[in-house]
Structure 1
Amino acid sequence: MVALTGTMGEIPPGGTSREFGTAYFDGAEWWAVIRGKPIMARWLDPIQPLQGGKIVVDFTTDGKGLSSALVIGGYTDQPRPSTGIAQEVIPAGLATTIVFIGSDGVTYTTDRFIGSYSPGDPIYLTWDAATPTIIGKIQSQATPPPAPPPPPPPAVVTGTETLLVTASDTWGVGGWGRWAKSQNGGEYVYSGFWAGQTLTGSWFYGAPRPALQGKTITAIKFWIPAREPVGSNNAAATIHICAHTSSARPGGDVARVVGPFDVVVDPGFQGGYVNLPLTFGPTLAAGGGISIAGDPYIGFLSRLKDPQVGKLIMDWSA
């Protein structure tokens, strides 16, 4: 009763407070367990408690420091069915059991029944301490309960994840950041063949994004940076975009595993989005990035000059 002292004190004289708990039998007596504490109580007659079964307890006070607890019954989250259809009779001597479907569409098993039954018989039910007893057949023509409706299709969850570039750079001349404006941490991106050097450029996005794990990628937008005035910058150029597997600069050039996907970049291009193939999705979701390789010789603005550079917008569903 210690846990209920405050509750008792709040009940006005002659008033009643209702609590919910469980029944407990210690081998000699039944107890009402309320708020984790077993208490003595009176039990409404008739009542057949079930070990651990859920019960409703009313507390009444006389205003003089005395109070009483009365277990008024058990309770369930849904009502018990009163009828059903026998499905299977499993004979086993005195322990014969009957499987039936209740009018609530739930399948039950019981070894309590009066009379004999066959599969398909409509039946009446009564319940004692959460255990069903079959008390007879329904003599009138009964319609079997309808099959439960199929479960609704799982809800489709959608979302968008934006990936900003954590590093961009050019590989060539035997390392990263050794060409033109990519030097000294400039992070400009170049691609193509120039002055006897083969150059590739890459954008990196850091660790894999948890929000993309296990998702289906439905759209990918990539922001191509503004074009640099290098090479044949007065002519349109076709760049070759690939997905690579590195979250940061590796020791050598990146491993391009998806692509190329070709995009035409006009003279004086100032940056804009392009839709990438969905085949890029798994590599990017796993922490990979974007790379350009192959002729013509071309350069792009550093991410240090424009935070939009190389941005990825990835739509997903699950």
Structure 2
Amino acid sequence: MTDISVDGADRGGLCAGRVVVVTGAGRGLGRAHALAFAAEGAHVVVNDLGVTLDGSPDGTEAGPADLVVAEIRALGGSAVAHGGDIATTAGAASLVAAALDTFGRLDTLVNNAGFLRDRMLVNLDEDEWDAVIRVHLKGHFLPLKHAAAHWRAETKAGRTPVARVVNTSSGAGLLGSVGQGNYSAAKAGIIGLTLVAAAELARYGVQVNAIAPAARTRMTERTFAGTMAAPGAGAFDAMAPDNVSPLVVWLGAAASDGVTGRVFETEAGRITVMEGWRPGPTVDKGARWTPAEAGEAARELLTRAEAPGAVYGAGD
């Protein structure tokens, strides 16, 4: 459990008075983010549909969102639960409405919800592809769309917000991951969505960034089996989800002014600014190539290009 005392509203924490929505906040990274925002004085809307690792209903009587809200309130914080499906128009709209109806404003959206249905490509069914693309990519787009519509309306009314969006990509979206074609494609798409949103929404006072985290959660325990065990008492738990949340809180705060359209890889005590696609070695013939000439030119360019990072699991 996060070691916090949620009295940020009294202490004037980094996010004091801000209203923050976190999707998929019932467990893992989302829960850690919700607790960390509350510790810095934010009012938190805790969204979670309450599903198993593959997206099926978990069958529990008390939803995970309600449990996190209870944790926050027990520590003196302010939170409300939302159990809607944010990959639907109605669910995403009600998520934004929950913030506005409960707290009267919306300042930060953290898109985090997701699940896995891992298969090698030749075994990956169409419904498994669609389900993962839906919850990760569409589940980022719809809350972002509805939050942005609110912030645009605020700007047009003369109340330009200090708004923040933090999206959740993955190393799988940056490099690819064997057995996770659907997940890797969705997470790569989230990076593209982040860049477009940062450019389009800047005029409305909105900053949009993404993280590519690594931590011990339900979604990673199978992928990294045997390498993410919790350490002994008193040792630094490098894979704890709580290690990712400080950067997310800062990106979601007014203090991150001027930072937008960026992707940060974060795990343990390490933060890395990821540098995306940019022109490398190039050659211009000034006329049309023949296929053979194009191939020869491409091979020569590759001798001068930086090698790509290894796809996760490619050596297994």
TM-score range relative to shorter protein: under 0.3
Question: Scaled by the length of structure 1, what TM-score is found?
Answer: 0.19
* Greater Rg by CA: 1
User: Which structure dedicates a bigger proportion of its chain to helix?
Assistant: 2
User: Which structure dedicates a bigger proportion of its chain to strand?
Assistant: 1
